[in-house]
Amino acid sequence: MDMTIAGGITMNDGYRIPRIAFGTYHLEPDGEAERAVATAIRAGYRHIDCARFYHNETAVGVGIANGGVPRDQLFITSKVWNDRLIDGTVRESIEESLHDLQLDYLDLMLIHWPVEGKLVAAWKVLEQARDEGLVRSIGVANCRVPHLQQLMTAGATMPAVDQLEFHPYMQDAKTLAFCESQGIVFEAWSPLGRGACMDDPVVTSIAEAHRATPAQVILAWERGKGIVALPRSRNEGRIRSNALELAEPLTSDEVAALDALDRQQPVNPNSTPENFAAHLNGKSSHF
């Protein structure tokens, strides 16, 4: 697979984003994160997805530096956490990410969650940071159609990216279609459902037919929808195999069978935009 920026998808702001990213959630900052990130970069990944909430950006920054790839060939994303939207320190969060990651700019900065009543104000800070060159592209995460329409109504710049949970057991065709209609790149966090759907008989039978892993099948299905997936692993073999394409594309029947697996089953009931506010107060969070 071409994982480079040049071989990526053109976003609505003219920049390109690689077709797959390496996720860093739950990678421990005790050496694990830096090893995994450096391994991913050496395996060909060029997009590294980070966040303040992951509490490992310093270690990830070391991994990026150890990966041995020039900065202009990498695409680095971070996210602003909810407490910064609440207390009005979005700009400070961006600066902290740059410091910890040892970067002069971020390729993409996302608002991690659409905190009620704070989204538009935070978005304006991201627009300013983009205009000042701290970040190149700006986007959101965990936003459904009404959140995106809220930004549109406010006359804001259209997000370049919306990152949501998406896998065979948790699909969001409505938001995906809206993003396509507006030129917003759809990213999938937890693209493998944290392993929940990889033992599904439909997935395993397709994998056997293609002599591939279940993860490779699911990631191919997501790429076929134009989705940028963010798989994460601590295992070097899986890091490398997740980046491999199928020898033959999925058939229309196989795609339909995977589409039919949707159960609206999130990896965590609290991690949907609809349930998030009811269970988390913005400063405490444990997924």
Catalytic positions = 54
Phi, psi of 131 (to 5 degrees): -65, -30
* Strand 47-49 to 75-80 pairing: parallel
For residue 156, CA distances in Å to 76, 126, 148, 153 come to: 23, 11, 10, 8
Q: What is the DSSP string of the chain?
A: ---SSTTSEEPTTS-EE-SB-EE-TT--TTTHHHHHHHHHHHTT--EEE--GGGT-HHHHHHHHHHT---GGG-EEEEEE-HHHHHHT-HHHHHHHHHHHHT-S-EEEEEESS--TTTHHHHHHHHHHHHHTTSEEEEEEES--HHHHHHHHHTTPPPPSEEEEE-BTTB--HHHHHHHHHHTPEEEEESTTGGGTTTT-HHHHHHHHHHT--HHHHHHHHHHHTT-EE----S-HHHHHHTTPPPSSPPPHHHHHHHHTT-----SSGGGSHHHHHHH--SS----
For residue 109, CA distances in Å to 15, 30, 93, 151 come to: 13, 25, 10, 16
